[in-house]
């Protein structure tokens, strides 16, 4: 059947610059470029191009420009190119349209409508280059009171995780990302004193040396979950939902279940790895509590147990239930949260922005007097350290970053993760593509990212006259809204700028 | 809450669990196992959860009474025998070991079980054996003497499940509908009658011969041993095997 889908990208090859070296042909895992020896020319099958820019970056003579395809339908504000393209893909196959990464629709990004305060005259700002500045963060339930005698804490505290910066790497499963990508994140987390999350796809033996900086996930698939998996990590996270696909499970297609992936997930090679939509032992808050305590029993009450949900309409009430169920950490993943594969219609339409969910959850937990019983971690759409510090001021203890970490190691957010052919080797199922990531270099780039953002956070803190991130946590007086409606300011719990 | 009362005779310890909260009870068990005790008898068990969840070595545990939810969740090695009924989540994500229940077991029995064996003399609840899986030599086994409720073997990705229907009257059908719905691995052996509409659309039906028959006989004999039943009599019944028609049940679900 002839497909009516037009190419999304235009390959502009400057023939004067092209030296026929074949780099683009070799680099493109979608076979977009090919060499035609008869005419001694390199040609392109544009319908295969995903716009990932791998070829353009590696072209030694800068002969390539990959740009959005200039084809035009009759202008129509309702029927945009994307609508026509998706509809035709479905008419071709009768399937559910897949995508990768986070929501790319122009939903309001509240970070861009929140501004920070700084000290002027009435209190001094602090220069973090010369004065102590603390980003240390502790995740875990905080006791209502601590008995300190002779400078020592008496009795035992609930388990706490120390982070040297309030930024962690989000859950990304081996199988969704390549071995090299996962290894690099775990190493970088260990080097910088933060945590990386395995995702629900199991945890390879040789990566367990990074256990002290690893969060393991328990999700509906229960892949690779056993006692050693739980006990060798620093923290255990129950995944109920993911911002990119609230309410649904996951299907890792059989072709991605290669022998090493099968070994890690403990399932046969080539079968679909299905994660059911719900965890079938959790149909209520009481059931959730049962799994939380099953995991605490399995880990001697020595590890904090986190519960991750997608940010949805009733997130505040659900979060209250999660805390009361005994979770040490509540994780919220907003509508812009990323994914390796999700139905596009769900990614783009289900859930709420993380800023509003965070503000509502923090407010609710405070009103109920249980905010200290759990840490709050937020995820989904963080782009820079400004977003992170605003999240802390809105009430988060720490954030998870996924896409920024991938961008640091080459990702250009082309949204084709679900094909398993990532030319950058990040979400590649083919081990030869995974080798395009040098873990030493990728680790360095990730550490650099954490370092750069942490410096920036310190600068902003210093500007506000604050010398510990703890003092900014939930301190919404340091935020003001710009261009927001009254109801938005109310949900966010911030004043409008100038007030 | 009471502390667990212990009485010890060589390698055998009896624990009175009356009024003991599950945390204390399981801590007591961990202590005993650490001390090298090989046989533990739990008396007056009333709903304590997670028994056997975090014991580092194989140990024999006999339970008088009704253990609570998640009996043997994440269990790795111990052998548990329950003289009574079990509740929900028996053998949840179990890795190895054995659970024998002389009564019924509740919902999601053997959920996500990955290894070891579970034998239930009576009936089981909803969504039993959901998402059981296997890898190489780790093949979990679940044998049920009675019948099961709906979504039996849902999403099954591996392992072996046997449903015997020993207590069904002549002409009576098994209870479950949607048997093996979403199944994409493993095998379910059923003795007793089910109608076509009770089967999920992802399962195929075939007779039990050759290697399948040998595996089935082994499983039934081991079941019969635990409950003092006549294996040959059970095996004389009519068995059918349900198998997944597709390794990739949702392979055409997406537009790439």
Residue A24 within a domain? yes
Coil, strand or helix: which one is B66? strand
A386 with A471, same domain?
Answer: yes
A305 with A254, same domain?
Answer: yes
Long-range contacts of range A282-288, CB-CB < 8 Å, 24 or more positions apart? Answer: A282/A240, A285/A321, A285/A322, A285/A324, A285/A325, A286/A325, A288/A238, A288/A240, A288/A321, A288/A322, A288/A325, A288/A327
Q: pLDDT digit of tens for each residue in chain A (499 aa)?
A: 899 999 999 999 999 999 999 999 999 999 999 999 999 999 999 999 999 999 999 999 999 999 999 999 999 999 999 999 999 999 999 999 999 999 999 999 999 999 999 999 998 999 999 999 999 999 999 998 889 999 898 888 999 999 999 999 999 999 999 999 999 999 999 999 999 999 999 999 999 999 999 999 999 999 999 999 999 999 999 999 999 999 998 888 787 888 999 999 988 888 888 888 889 899 999 999 999 999 999 999 999 999 999 999 999 999 999 999 999 999 999 999 999 999 999 999 999 999 999 999 999 999 999 999 999 999 999 999 999 999 999 999 999 999 999 999 999 999 999 999 999 999 998 889 999 999 999 999 999 999 999 999 999 999 999 999 999 999 999 999 999 999 999 999 999 999 9
Query: Are residues A73 and A84 in contact, defined by beta-carbon separation less than 8 angstroms?
Result: yes
A331 with A450, same domain?
Answer: yes
User: Rounded to two decimals, what is the model's pTM?
Assistant: 0.95
Residues in chain A: 499
Strand-pairing partners, residue A480, are A115, A495
A80 with A145, same domain?
Answer: no
B131 with A268: Cβ contact below 8 A: no
A401 with A257, same domain?
Answer: yes
Of B54, B134, B138, the CB nearest to A297: B54
> What are the tens digits of pLDDT across the range B173-198?
999 999 999 999 999 999 999 999 99
> What are the tens digits of pLDDT across the range B16-66?
999 999 999 999 999 999 999 999 999 999 999 999 998 878 999 999 999
A77 with A175, same domain?
Answer: no
Residue A88 within a domain? yes
For the domain that residue A191 is a member of, what is the CATH number? 3.20.20.70
Average pLDDT, chain B: 95
A281 with B92: Cβ contact below 8 A: yes
Residue A54 within a domain? yes
B256 with A93: Cβ contact below 8 A: yes
Closest A-chain CA to B183? A274
**Does the beta carbon of A96 lie under 8 angstroms from any beta carbon of chain B?**
yes
User: A39, A72, A95: which is the final residue of a domain?
Assistant: A95
Residue with tokens 């007779």: B207
A340 with A421, same domain?
Answer: yes
A458 with A321, same domain?
Answer: yes
For the domain that residue A37 is a member of, what is the CATH number? 3.30.70.20
Encoded tokens for A65: 């420009």
Q: State CA A107 to chain mean position distance.
A: 18
Encoded tokens for A169: 């790497």
Query: Are residues A235 and A211 in contact, defined by beta-carbon separation less than 8 angstroms?
Result: no
Q: Supply φ then ψ for residue A22, to 5 degrees.
A: 85, 5
B104-244: CATH topology is: Pectate Lyase C-like (2.160.20)
The distance of B90 to chain A (nearest Cα, Å) reads 11
User: A80, A95, A110: which is the final residue of a domain?
Assistant: A95
A349 with A255, same domain?
Answer: yes
Give the burial class of A377: count Cβ atoms within 10 A of its Cβ; 0-12 exposed, 13-18 middle, 19 or more buried. Answer: buried
Residue A116 within a domain? no
DSSP A380: S
Residue B251 pLDDT greater than 80, yes or no: no
Q: What is the Cα–Cα distance from A482 to A492, expressed in whole angstroms?
A: 12
Q: How many CA atoms lie within 13 A of B72 on its CB side?
A: 39
> What are the tens digits of pLDDT across the range B148-182?
999 999 999 999 999 999 999 999 999 999 999 99
pLDDT at residue A344 in the model: 95
Q: What is the Cα–Cα distance from A250 to A341, expressed in whole angstroms?
A: 8
Strand-pairing partners, residue B98, are B79, B117
Residue with tokens 């294996």: B231
**Does the beta carbon of A1 lie under 8 angstroms from any beta carbon of chain B?**
no
Of B131, B185, B251, the CB nearest to A276: B131
pLDDT at residue B1 in the model: 64
Strands of the sheet containing A479-481, edge to edge, are: A114-116, A479-481, A495-496
User: A61, A95, A129: which is the final residue of a domain?
Assistant: A95
How many contacts, defined by CB atoms under 8 Å, are there between A and B? 131
> What are the tens digits of pLDDT across the range B56-92?
789 999 999 999 999 999 999 999 999 999 999 999 9
Q: At what angle do helices A385-394 and A439-463 cross, to 10 degrees?
A: 50
Residue A122 within a domain? no
B254 with A266: Cβ contact below 8 A: no
Domain count, chain A: 2
* Residue ranges making up the domain that contains A52: 9-95
A451: part of which helix (H) or strand (E)? helix A439-463
């Amino acid at each position: 059947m002839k497909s009516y889908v037009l190419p999304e990208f235009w390959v502009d090859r400057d023939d004067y610059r092209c030296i026929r070296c074949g780099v683009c042909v070799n680099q493109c895992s979608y076979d977009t470029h090919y060499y035609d020896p008869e005419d001694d020319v390199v040609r392109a099958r544009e319908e295969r191009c995903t716009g990932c820019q791998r070829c353009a970056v590696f072209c030694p003579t800068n002969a390539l420009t990959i740009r959005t395809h200039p084809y035009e339908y009759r202008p129509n504000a309702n029927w945009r190119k994307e609508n026509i393209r998706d509809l035709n893909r479905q008419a071709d196959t009768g399937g559910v349209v897949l995508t990768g990464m986070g929501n790319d629709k122009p939903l309001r990004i509240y970070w861009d409508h929140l501004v920070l305060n700084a000290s002027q005259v009435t209190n001094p700002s602090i220069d973090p280059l010369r004065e102590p500045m603390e980003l240390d963060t502790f995740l875990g339930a905080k006791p209502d009171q601590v008995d300190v005698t002779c400078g020592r804490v008496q009795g035992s505290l609930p388990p706490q995780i120390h982070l040297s910066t309030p930024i962690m790497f989000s859950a990304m499963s081996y199988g969704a990302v390549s071995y090299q990508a996962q290894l690099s994140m775990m190493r970088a987390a260990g080097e910088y004193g933060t945590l990386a999350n395995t995702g629900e796809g199991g945890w390879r033996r040789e990566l367990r040396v990074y256990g002290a900086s690893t969060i393991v996930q328990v999700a509906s698939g229960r892949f690779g979950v056993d006692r050693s998996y739980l006990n060798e990590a620093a923290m255990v996270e129950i995944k109920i939902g993911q911002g990119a696909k609230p309410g649904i499970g996951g299907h890792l297609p059989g072709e991605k279940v290669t022998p090493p992936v099968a070994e890690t997930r403990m399932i046969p090679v080539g079968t679909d790895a299905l994660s059911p939509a719900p965890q079938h032992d959790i149909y209520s808050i009481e059931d959730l509590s049962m799994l939380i305590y099953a995991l605490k029993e399995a880990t001697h009450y020595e590890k904090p147990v986190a519960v991750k949900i997608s940010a949805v309409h009733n997130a505040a009430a659900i979060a209250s239930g999660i805390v009361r169920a005994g979770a040490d950490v509540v994780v919220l993943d907003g509508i812009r949260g990323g994914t390796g594969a999700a139905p596009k219609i769900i990614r783009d339409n289900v859930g709420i922005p993380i800023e509003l969910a965070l503000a509502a959850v923090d407010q609710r937990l405070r009103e109920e007097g249980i905010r200290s019983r759990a840490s709050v971690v937020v995820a989904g759409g963080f782009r820079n350290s400004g977003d992170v510090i605003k999240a802390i001021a809105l009430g988060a203890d720490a954030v998870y970053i996924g896409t920024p970490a991938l961008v640091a190691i080459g990702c250009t957010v082309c949204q084709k993760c679900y094909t398993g052919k990532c030319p950058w080797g990040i979400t590649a199922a083919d081990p030869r593509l995974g080798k395009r990531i040098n873990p030493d270099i990728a680790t360095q780039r990730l550490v650099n990212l954490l370092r750069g953002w942490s410096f920036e956070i310190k600068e902003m803190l210093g500007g506000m006259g604050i010398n510990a991130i703890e003092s900014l946590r939930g301190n919404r007086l340091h935020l003001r809204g710009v261009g927001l409606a009254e109801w938005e300011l109310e949900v966010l719990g911030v004043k409008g700028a100038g007030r | 809450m009471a502390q667990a009362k212990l009485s010890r005779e060589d390698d055998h310890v009896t624990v009175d669990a009356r009024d003991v909260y599950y945390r204390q009870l399981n801590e007591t068990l961990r202590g005993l196992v650490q001390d090298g005790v090989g046989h533990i008898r739990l008396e007056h068990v009333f709903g304590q959860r997670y028994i056997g969840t975090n014991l580092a070595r194989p140990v024999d545990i006999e339970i008088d009474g009704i253990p609570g939810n998640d009996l043997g969740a994440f269990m790795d090695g111990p052998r548990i025998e329950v003289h009574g009924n079990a509740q929900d989540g028996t053998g949840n994500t179990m890795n190895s070991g054995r659970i024998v229940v002389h009564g019924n077991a509740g919902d999601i029995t053997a959920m996500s079980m990955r290894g070891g064996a579970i034998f239930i003399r009576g009936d089981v609840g909803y969504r039993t054996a959901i998402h059981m899986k296997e890898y190489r030599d780790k093949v979990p086994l679940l044998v049920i003497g009675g019948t099961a409720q709906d979504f039996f073997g849902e999403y099954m990705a591996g392992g072996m499940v046997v449903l015997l229907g020993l207590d069904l009257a002549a002409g009576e059908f098994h209870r479950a509908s949607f048997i093996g719905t979403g199944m994409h691995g493993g095998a379910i052996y059923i003795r007793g009658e089910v109608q076509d509409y009770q089967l999920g659309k992802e399962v195929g039906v075939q007779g039990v011969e050759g290697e399948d028959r040998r595996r089935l006989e082994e499983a039934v004999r081991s079941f019969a041993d635990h409950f003092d039943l006549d294996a040959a009599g059970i095996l004389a019944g009519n068995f059918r095997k349900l198998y997944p028609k597709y390794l990739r049940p949702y392979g055409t679900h997406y537009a790439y």
